[in-house]
Amino acid sequence: MIRFLKKRDTDTSRTQPQPAGRNEIIIHEEDTISLSTMVLSDIRKGNFFIQGEAIVEKNSFITGTIVSTNAIITGRVDGEVICTGEVVLAASAIVEGNLKASTVVISPHAIFNGNLMISGQTSARAESLLSEKINLAQRLLNKGYIPEVEILVESDPPKNNIMTAFKKTEKKNKHDQKGDENSSSSDDTVSSWW
């Protein structure tokens, strides 16, 4: 099933997840495995196997394969995304590669360049891949492997410089209008121009 969003989705629990503040990951060869939700940010390369939800942040650039239960992509992914459940491509998403899931939601302005496969078979393949890596991670943990912890830093919201500049200009214009009473009004200037 493919859904194209025409207006903002009101279900914020699915589209605006609240990250836990850190990723606990198990790294094995070129694979990164998470037994819960994982936030992918910055520039990263490799294969990511995530038991929970994969969240690709807006200013991130991920190169490789992402296999997860669900995925929310607001940044850029160059590679394959395989999910057992739903993939959401936000308006800012750029995906260059194949996308395989049971359900796909594509927001306006999202960029997708690749093959799209939506079926129950995708789910079975993803579950098999994910199950294999999750079992490996659990075996490593049982043998005493300590997961690495990535602390997630919340970025400050961008300052709205346009509004600040507008307010300064607005104040300046009001001051100038009070100043010179002998100057001609703007209506006279406009009418004499024609």
Q: Is residue 138 over pLDDT 80?
A: yes
- C-alpha–C-alpha distance, residues 112 and 76, integer Å: 10
DSSP 58: T
Considering the domain boundaries, does residue 116 fall inside one? yes
- The larger pLDDT score, comparing residue 4 to residue 65, is at 65
Per residue in 29-72, pLDDT (tens digit) is 889 999 999 999 999 999 999 999 999 999 999 999 999 999 99
Q: How many percent of the chain have pLDDT more than 70?
A: 66
Considering the domain boundaries, does residue 36 fall inside one? yes
- Domain range for 60 is 22-149
For the ranges 56-70, 127-141, 156-170, 173-187, the one whose mean pLDDT is highest: 56-70
Q: What is the mean pLDDT of residues 75-89?
A: 95
- C-alpha–C-alpha distance, residues 2 and 89, integer Å: 11
Contact between residue 102 and residue 118 where contact means Cβ atoms under 8 Å apart: yes
Q: Can you point out the beta strands (E) in 74-126?
A: 76-78, 81-83, 86-89, 94-96, 99-101, 103-106, 111-113, 116-118
- C-alpha–C-alpha distance, residues 22 and 81, integer Å: 22
Considering the domain boundaries, does residue 160 fall inside one? no
Number of independent structural domains in the chain: 1
DSSP 184: P
Considering the domain boundaries, does residue 60 fall inside one? yes
Contact between residue 5 and residue 131 where contact means Cβ atoms under 8 Å apart: no
The amino acid present at 149, given as its one-letter code, is: V
- C-alpha–C-alpha distance, residues 154 and 152, integer Å: 6
Considering the domain boundaries, does residue 176 fall inside one? no
Considering the domain boundaries, does residue 6 fall inside one? no
Considering the domain boundaries, does residue 173 fall inside one? no
